[in-house]
Structure 1
Amino acid sequence: MDNINNLIDGLKTSSVDANFESMNFYQSKLLSNKNEKIITSIREHLENCDEFIISVAFITESGITLLLEQLKKLANKNIKGKILTGDYLNFTQPKALKKLLEYENIELKILSNENFHAKGYFFKRNNVWSLIIGSSNLTQTALTTNFEWNLKVNSLENGKIAKEIIGNFDDVFNRLPPLDLLTINNYEKLYNSSREYIKTLKLNQKSLTSEEIKPNYMQIQALNNLEEIRKIKDKALLISATGTGKTYLSAFDVKAMNPKKVLFIAHRKTILDKSKDTYESLISNKKMCLYGEGEAQENDYIFAMVQTLNRDEHLKKFSRDYFDYIIIDEVHHSGAKTYQNIINYFTPKFFLGMTATPERSDNFDIYKLFDHTIAFEIRLHDALKEKLLCPFHYFGISDIEIDGKLIDEKTTIKNLVLDERVNHIIEKSRYYGYSGDKLHGLIFVSKVEEARSLSEKLNERGLKTKALTGETSDSSREKAIEQLEKGELEYLITVDIFNEGVDIPCINQVLLLRPTDSAIVYIQQLGRGLRKSTDKEFVVILDFIGNYEKNFLIPIAISQNNSYDKDSIKRFINRGTEYIPGESSIVFEEIVKERIFENISKTNFSTRKNIEHDYKLLKKQLGRIPYLNDFYERNMIDPSIILKYKKDYDDVLKTLDSKEKFGILNDKEKNFLKFLSSFFTPAKRIHEIFILKHLLKVEDDYIDSLNCLIENEFGLKNQTLNTNNALEHLTKDIFKSLSTAKEFLNILEKDNKKYKVNTELKKSYKNNFYFKTLIDDLISYNLNYVKKNYTQIDNSTILKYKEYSKQEAFWYLNLDFNNGYQVSGYTAFEEEKKVMIFITADSDSSSNYNNEFFDQCRFTWFSKTNRCLSRNNQLTTEGKISQNFYTLEIFIKKISGEKFYYMGQVEKVLSTEEIITSNGDPLVKYELKLKDEIELDLFNYLTI
């Protein structure tokens, strides 16, 4: 009966009134890749179904790769599925069919010699079918980036629409024979001949048209910047992710500038060879040579190894101003003496430094070297969005346990290459596969001996691998790379030597078998597989995650979110595919999620080491003292984390940068700064900070005027209650009995009906520039933070599914409870008829009761002990709750130590029961139903 009512409610929302409240699952929905990738919805339905059907015209291996984790779960649970596809135009890939044939729970069939165009994904849960019909085939682009239209509708299994669609499918499916390997092999011959014909056509067309190589959109922007920079500067730094064409970009710029003499410097001959080829493909009217392989003075453009050119006998062959334009590749190495010799010797008209990773672990200031002039930045997400890189499919999978203990940083080499682990690696690499016909893999390990031993073990099992270490000669490395490219080797196994300076576009699988100690190194290694190649559609990244202390760096690195905000990291782990631009996808196994969540929760990011790292880096980038808003705008460690290290930024600056001369704050200035930093930062509504910003500019103002300003600035109406509450916080009228606030001076003063800034604060703001700088910085950061993360759209200043402390929960609901953060489980407000309920989802194992979620709306909740529904024939607070007397405001966190997520209000108390605990204490058990469903990624986090 519940399903029928839910379906009817969902139909009302979908087809009658969009404002009608119903459960999201039962609503019809358009899936188009616009606001959410279609693959996200397909995955969610697969993970929660009892039976599934996929009927699509085309299936590719990239489409199957997107679903590998879900298909594995379905196979483990033996959930049956049917898949129907066609051979129209020979587009369906045989490799994808062979993969599907491996699943015993899936019945696979193919419709031949018919113009089969149907696209549908059908999922049955209990007695409800979710039916997705539209334009999307089972391909990577269709499920991630293409402009598609698919309509999801729901029907009971006896409903007319389900009967017609499933019946229509069964009519076709049941008349076809099961697909077997022989049939696929026969089809593969037709497929291969068709692919060869198409490839030949493309080659012939290419030979007939000499298409000019042109800069892409991002390169055009960078070239325009360089042109403007050269008018006022003689050097610039280009930051460009691996594989995004920075060498081509430099060649385009050289071609535009048309210098007489050019020097291109790198530290590896392979880089020089490919760079010379790139320049020759774009610039035909200049003579070019590798230094040492031709007469330098007879050539216009010289490509030189830094190890050779830096020596005096080579440098002195050229005058200091001999070269008009010098390009230094992998310029992050320029702190080395070899680079410095060259840089300090030559005085070209323009120096261009190029790197993918300017953030170095050494203390060299690369930004200062280039006068803090950054021509352009192309980071990983920018490159993926602009399709400059090959899409990747990342799988965070669990490493094995040895003697009941997970692999970690202390695991011995002997255990790292145990047969059990080697078999595990092979099994996973085969299951998740690779793009194309041949495996071209790269494996990163943490120890040289591990690389050698693992190579031996893999070779014993029939794989073709070679270990490369720092001791391997350049010629041996080049030979091994050539063997990998030709398919003579399947894996190269290395420690760190391939982090940069190597270009192997054919790599279609990367295995990470090492702990993550650096987000920079992690992206360097992942990036080895991101170069585009004609023979690969995607690259598979397999990350074997053990019990590593810093495994939280993985989502930080891939998400490119360096704020260390715990909520952001958790959301990325649950829903990473949505946060990655383009066709790439992210999947973490459930056990891995738990492992990383645990480390996130117990790790203190507010350490001197973390903050000092970003402080020094940002200071180098800016060429000045960085302030809180600089960290925020530059996507570095979040200011709220910085302010947990010290109570205000003045203390942070003087601790981290004692050699700098900063201003002086008197006791009152320090008091104001600490109050704003601890109580009002980060802001989760605009009122307090905006009011302070305004009143610092004027003498005083009225509440009505402040409301008008808020409406004009933010479009928010009816803000009197919120504005008045904010003013009471700033004047400390609410905080009178709050112990932690007693030490602080009030920020505002009230004079009759007018409000103004505290006289002492205003005086210091005008007279102490350092104090003013710190206050303005706090205001800027808080306003930017709240605009981005807590945008208010109506008269409510508390937002569903956002994080709040207990004190903030009372604050932003305008409930004047001074000691809110000390509340245990729930607090009732009789006048407002509200109850604030704070729930920890994962109760302590010693607890007498555990909260249980039935779905995204319904869950159990327990009162405090020694409580009942009535006493002396009078309803208690708990009794009133059971009678729906109060509005219940719900806040839930997963574990102790976290902040709470606001879930909105309870629609109804569904049931109530007085029970006795195992200790003999009475309490009340409730089943509550929220007005709105908890959003899915948050629900998954709370219930995992």
Structure 2
Amino acid sequence: MINDIMNSLKTSLIDNNFESNEDLQHKLLSNESEKILSVIREELNLCDEFIISVAFITEGGVVSILEELKKLAKKNIKGKILTGDYLNFTEPKALKRLLEFPNIELKILSNEDFHAKGYFFRRGSLWNIIIGSSNLTQKALTTNFEWNLKISSSENGKILKDTVDNFKKLFEKIPLLTIEKLEEYDKNYKLFKKYFKNEKVEKYIEKEGEIIPNSMQEKALESISSLRAEENKALIISATGTGKTFLSAFDVRKVNPKKMLFIAHRKNILEKAKLTFEILIKDKKMEIYKEDINLEEVDYVFAMIQTLGKDRHLEKIPKDYFDYIIIDEVHHSGAKTYQNLIEYFTPKFLLGMTATPERTDNFDIYKLFDYNIAYEIRLYDALRENLLCPFHYFGITDILVDGKYIDEKSTINNLVSEERVSHILEKSKFYGSCGEKIHGLIFVSKIEEAKKLEIKFLERGILSRALTGETSDEEREKAIKELEQGKIEYIISVDIFNEGIDIPCVNQVILLRPTESAIVYIQQLGRGLRKFKNKEFVVILDFIGNYEKNFLIPTAISQNNSFHKDFMKSFILNGTNLIPGESTIVFDEISKEKIFESIGETNFSTRKNIEHDFNLLEKQLGRIPYLYDFFNRNMIDPSVILKFKKDYDDILKILRPKINHGTLSEIEKNYLKFLSSIFTPGKRIHEMILLRESLKKEQIFVEEIEKILEKDYLLFNQRDNIENALKHLAKEIFTSLSTIKEFNKIFEREKENYYISKEFFKFYKENNYFKILIDDLIKYNLAYVEKNYKQSSQKTIELHKEYTKQEAFWNLNLDYNNGYQVSGYTVFEEIKKVIIFVTSAVTSYDNKFESRNIFSWFSKNQRSLKRNGKLTSEGKIAENYYEIEVFIKKENGENFYYMGQVEKVLSGEEIFNEEGKTLVEYKLKLKNSIKKDLFDYLIHDTN
């Protein structure tokens, strides 16, 4: 270890190019490339002891590490936490939560200007230290621009001893925080905050005076205005809680129509919309439409579609009476009442607003608005722009009943059993909510379940109300008010609150139903995302059973509908870094495995999946979609589509057989299949750059491509990679593969020069349909690599990314002709290189990981270190003769993850298998440690 630390110091402080253990190198943590929270979580998960010394602690900061603190308490790993009361910024509720952990010594330094921020984690005799600017707060660990330095030290290091001794000297002088002291601090905190809040409000009113659009609303208003110059209708797609009603009111204020109509399908939406317009527009008379309304006396009318959509009401009003009409929740406009109203009125401008344009009723909302999408504010955009309340999502394993996890077939008795109710309430209490009281929404799938859960909750003193489709509007309104006033803790709902409801105070959402639809899932999660005074975050508790469609959870939360298995797995492993803003995501180990299992077992390459997104894209675009369109809009990924059929021409013929898209000759079809099945999706850009540039002029030179790669992609010294790509396009590599044999060469070689096939070039220039399909493949592949496999070094293979065996050889520039058939390892004697493939969960031997960069590996059977007195290949591996490239996967059926090169073969010895035959057991040390989330996945035992 000492040598590893010494080497890491050389890399960190002397020579950036010196190779050393990446985990031990100094690292700047700033929330730029990854959230600081991810590093803190990782250290907590691996430590044997921890110390946290920060000036401020907030409830959001504690909630974001709750899962890790729970694990540490279970293992009785001790921790010390020191904070201060400076400016009463540290939140009493955060301290109260920390006091619940018996393994933590918690102290608070009073009456001192305490500003120290440091995190210390011991793992054996190694300490990892993070010192800098970050307090234990939600913002500091996720979005603030921070500077923290992470360093590693042995237990005898001077910096470590100085800082830890300094901490201990201070810590030992202070008494432990008790409940009594916390209550005293809580009183002072509340007095201070009350005064501070009043001051803040007065300054805000004096400074601002007027409500103004947020950044995204400004852009949307500009887009609507620009579109209105040429069109008379527009569609706004805006995530729940992002202020689409305010947006419409801002636009109406700007246009200043004489008569305006606002349509909604719920009374509470209508009333709140009217209030919003009255806040922004002071010089217009506004009324809610009713039978006896005098329209002449009213400027702006707010009407229920159920009323005004009827013929007897419409007939009373001239068709051109309203200059501006707004339809909220316009995705319902396929209904007869909406159609009546839309077809009847002829306004100067029609604005539709929705959070969910993707419908299951096949109504084409995009066509209704002539494909005029003025602006889109999706969930990710809203989180990035801080328009929504951040959420802390916890994927929690549902209970076992009679040895089986809850699933779609579970009986009502199992769903509302005492054991399950206890499980739900225990988790609700542990993960908690922001603020003093829970204002919770619970979503279930059955009416009977909702009603019985209400009874069970009430029996335990938890005030709640079950609301179903049978509940009257009056009862719903009453329950909402009781939730807002804190008279009840929960509303238990069966789908009725998916949309059209605004309860900003909701600070905990519990999902107790199978995930059948990503749209419904995100609607329900979104019920808690509206901002509200003193609401710093919302807690989402997702109870994950053995549901068939668990794979929809990462699809829904990530807002990525590609069904790309690599992405879905990455999101489960590292969702916190993949979602913008202060929100965090964590799954417990069992629920993580259940979703992985669901992803692994599901075939996404089905006609049903492809056709669903094809139809949706066709509606959005107003034309036939192509592969790049799916990728660009986060729809089902083209790589998934091309597993259903080998090329997109076949897809078009199946989905739109009556349309004459164009025709392909047998040879053109051969070329298209070659590019679609062998080169798609690309894992490097070189092949597609070569193809793109060659189609501009038949012959290209390596020097030209080198310049393009340098200028446009900042890739240098790429000659070897370019030449290897040319060999693939010219079919000079993998020639013995049966999957390759049937295809025609796309490039030809003449001596040392390559040029595109004259035949291919001719087809491309003369057949526009062929050209469209080829250009689409090139565009998609380039975009795919830039997003998922962006190259950052001279190599064209990326650490910890997924590759098939063939792609492994391909991207290492190894000319091996049997990429798919290769067994556990292959030796390239001429270049002194070995490539090894390890399946960690499926082996006759124990491929044991000692750490994230040291693991055991076994040779093939009937192998020895020496033969006839000479070293065998296996013996040379043991002697560190070769450069070794490592690929590891967990189970059969998966791709391999590239783990980089072996730094050193630590040992190699002959052993005997069960049949008494020799093989060699090695201990290998990687140059780069395996990423924590990936490592956890590889070693987790699913049994």
Calculate the TM-score normalised by the size of structure 1.
Answer: 0.97
Call closer, same or farther: CA 1:768–1:273 in 2, change over 3 Å: same
Tell whether the 8 Å contact from 1:439 to 1:509 is kept in structure 2 after alignment.
yes
Equivalence map 1:29-108=2 (5 Å)? 29-108=27-106
* CA distances 1:214-257 after superposition (whole Å, capped 9, x unpaired): 00111110101111101111111000000000000001111111
Query: 1:938 corresponds to which residue?
Result: 934
Give me the whole-angstrom Cα distance separating, in 2, the residues matched to 1:216 and 1:384: 13
Query: 1:786 corresponds to which residue?
Result: 785
2:372 counterpart letter in structure 1: T
Question: What are the ranges of 5 or more consecutive residues in structure 1 without an aligned counterpart?
Answer: none
What SS is found at the alignment partner of 1:820? coil
What SS is found at the alignment partner of 1:536? coil
Q: CA deviation at 1:159?
A: 2.9
2:894 counterpart letter in structure 1: E
Tell whether the 8 Å contact from 1:735 to 1:742 is kept in structure 2 after alignment.
no
2:150 counterpart letter in structure 1: K
What SS is found at the alignment partner of 1:142? helix
Give me the whole-angstrom Cα distance separating, in 1, the residues matched to 2:714 and 2:46: 41
What SS is found at the alignment partner of 2:772? helix
Tell whether the 8 Å contact from 2:800 to 2:931 is kept in structure 1 after alignment.
yes
Equivalence map 1:711-722=2 (5 Å)? 711-722=710-721
Tell whether the 8 Å contact from 2:734 to 2:819 is kept in structure 1 after alignment.
no
Give me the whole-angstrom Cα distance separating, in 2, the residues matched to 1:87 and 1:711: 54
Tell whether the 8 Å contact from 2:367 to 2:619 is kept in structure 1 after alignment.
yes
Give me the whole-angstrom Cα distance separating, in 2, the residues matched to 1:719 and 1:31: 31
Tell whether the 8 Å contact from 1:393 to 1:538 is kept in structure 2 after alignment.
yes
What SS is found at the alignment partner of 1:774? helix
* CA distances 1:769-802 after superposition (whole Å, capped 9, x unpaired): 2122111111111122223323334442222222
Q: CA deviation at 1:359?
A: 0.7
2:890 counterpart letter in structure 1: K
Q: CA deviation at 1:19?
A: 2.3
Query: 2:333 corresponds to which residue?
Result: 334
Equivalence map 1:355-504=2 (5 Å)? 355-504=354-503
1:137 counterpart letter in structure 2: N
Query: 1:676 corresponds to which residue?
Result: 675
Deviates more, 1:674-683 or 1:652-661: 652-661
Query: 2:915 corresponds to which residue?
Result: 919
2:928 counterpart letter in structure 1: D
Percent identity among equivalent residues? 65
Equivalence map 1:53-452=2 (5 Å)? 53-205=51-203, 211-292=209-290, 294-452=293-451
Number of residue pairs the alignment of both structures matches: 939
Equivalence map 1:7-22=2 (5 Å)? 7-22=5-20
Give me the whole-angstrom Cα distance separating, in 2, the residues matched to 1:74 and 1:886: 41
* CA distances 1:11-30 after superposition (whole Å, capped 9, x unpaired): 22222222222223322222
Q: CA deviation at 1:387?
A: 0.9
Q: CA deviation at 1:668?
A: 1.3
Pairing 1:635–2:631 present:
no
Deviates more, 1:6-15 or 1:754-763: 754-763
Q: CA deviation at 1:943?
A: 2.3
Q: CA deviation at 1:297?
A: 2.5
Question: What are the ranges of 5 or more consecutive residues in structure 2 without an aligned counterpart?
Answer: none
1:274 counterpart letter in structure 2: K
1:941 counterpart letter in structure 2: Y
Query: 1:875 corresponds to which residue?
Result: 871
Tell whether the 8 Å contact from 1:843 to 1:851 is kept in structure 2 after alignment.
no
Tell whether the 8 Å contact from 1:702 to 1:753 is kept in structure 2 after alignment.
no
Give me the whole-angstrom Cα distance separating, in 1, the residues matched to 2:352 and 2:829: 67
Q: CA deviation at 1:809?
A: 1.3
Tell whether the 8 Å contact from 2:689 to 2:705 is kept in structure 1 after alignment.
no
Query: 1:542 corresponds to which residue?
Result: 541
* CA distances 1:721-747 after superposition (whole Å, capped 9, x unpaired): 323322222222334433221211111
Tell whether the 8 Å contact from 1:506 to 1:535 is kept in structure 2 after alignment.
no
1:901 counterpart letter in structure 2: Y
Q: CA deviation at 1:194?
A: 1.6
1:323 counterpart letter in structure 2: F
* CA distances 1:36-71 after superposition (whole Å, capped 9, x unpaired): 222111111111111111222222211111111011
Q: CA deviation at 1:178?
A: 2.0
* CA distances 1:381-413 after superposition (whole Å, capped 9, x unpaired): 111111111111001111100011001111111
Deviates more, 1:177-186 or 1:443-452: 177-186
Q: CA deviation at 1:206?
A: 5.3
What SS is found at the alignment partner of 1:855? coil
Q: CA deviation at 1:189?
A: 1.5
What SS is found at the alignment partner of 2:820? helix
Deviates more, 1:601-610 or 1:749-758: 749-758
Give me the whole-angstrom Cα distance separating, in 1, the residues matched to 2:709 and 2:36: 38
1:446 counterpart letter in structure 2: S
1:851 counterpart letter in structure 2: N
Pairing 1:866–2:862 present:
yes
Tell whether the 8 Å contact from 1:790 to 1:799 is kept in structure 2 after alignment.
yes
Tell whether the 8 Å contact from 1:129 to 1:156 is kept in structure 2 after alignment.
yes
Pairing 1:601–2:610 present:
no
Call closer, same or farther: CA 1:333–1:74 in 2, change over 3 Å: same
Give me the whole-angstrom Cα distance separating, in 2, the residues matched to 1:207 and 1:879: 78
Give me the whole-angstrom Cα distance separating, in 2, the residues matched to 1:831 and 1:925: 24
Tell whether the 8 Å contact from 2:391 to 2:537 is kept in structure 1 after alignment.
yes
What SS is found at the alignment partner of 1:454? helix
Query: 2:732 corresponds to which residue?
Result: 733
What SS is found at the alignment partner of 1:222? helix
Root mean square deviation of aligned Cα: 1.7
Give me the whole-angstrom Cα distance separating, in 2, the residues matched to 1:794 and 1:143: 29
Tell whether the 8 Å contact from 2:23 to 2:929 is kept in structure 1 after alignment.
no
Equivalence map 1:519-918=2 (5 Å)? 519-844=518-843, 847=844, 849-918=845-914
Deviates more, 1:737-746 or 1:97-106: 737-746
Tell whether the 8 Å contact from 1:869 to 1:876 is kept in structure 2 after alignment.
yes
What SS is found at the alignment partner of 2:775? helix
Give me the whole-angstrom Cα distance separating, in 2, the residues matched to 1:298 and 1:897: 70
Q: CA deviation at 1:209?
A: 6.0
Give me the whole-angstrom Cα distance separating, in 2, the residues matched to 1:133 and 1:486: 43
1:234 counterpart letter in structure 2: N
Give me the whole-angstrom Cα distance separating, in 2, the residues matched to 1:274 and 1:134: 45
Call closer, same or farther: CA 1:235–1:197 in 2, change over 3 Å: same
Tell whether the 8 Å contact from 1:29 to 1:152 is kept in structure 2 after alignment.
yes
Give me the whole-angstrom Cα distance separating, in 2, the residues matched to 1:147 and 1:99: 27
Equivalence map 1:508-519=2 (5 Å)? 508-519=507-518
1:776 counterpart letter in structure 2: D
* CA distances 1:653-703 after superposition (whole Å, capped 9, x unpaired): 111222333212221111111111111111222222222222222233444
Give me the whole-angstrom Cα distance separating, in 1, the residues matched to 2:112 and 2:744: 80
Q: CA deviation at 1:424?
A: 0.4
Give me the whole-angstrom Cα distance separating, in 1, the residues matched to 2:797 and 2:247: 47
1:102 counterpart letter in structure 2: E
2:18 counterpart letter in structure 1: F
Tell whether the 8 Å contact from 2:21 to 2:927 is kept in structure 1 after alignment.
no
What SS is found at the alignment partner of 1:920? coil
Give me the whole-angstrom Cα distance separating, in 2, the residues matched to 1:931 and 1:372: 53
Tell whether the 8 Å contact from 2:734 to 2:818 is kept in structure 1 after alignment.
no
* CA distances 1:139-198 after superposition (whole Å, capped 9, x unpaired): 111221222222223333333322222222222222222221122112212112222222
Q: CA deviation at 1:751?
A: 3.9
Give me the whole-angstrom Cα distance separating, in 1, the residues matched to 2:719 and 2:208: 68
Tell whether the 8 Å contact from 1:289 to 1:296 is kept in structure 2 after alignment.
no
Give me the whole-angstrom Cα distance separating, in 2, the residues matched to 1:220 and 1:114: 44
What SS is found at the alignment partner of 2:488? coil
Deviates more, 1:367-376 or 1:889-898: 889-898
1:495 counterpart letter in structure 2: V
What SS is found at the alignment partner of 1:821? coil
Call closer, same or farther: CA 1:460–1:913 in 2, change over 3 Å: same
Q: CA deviation at 1:638?
A: 1.0
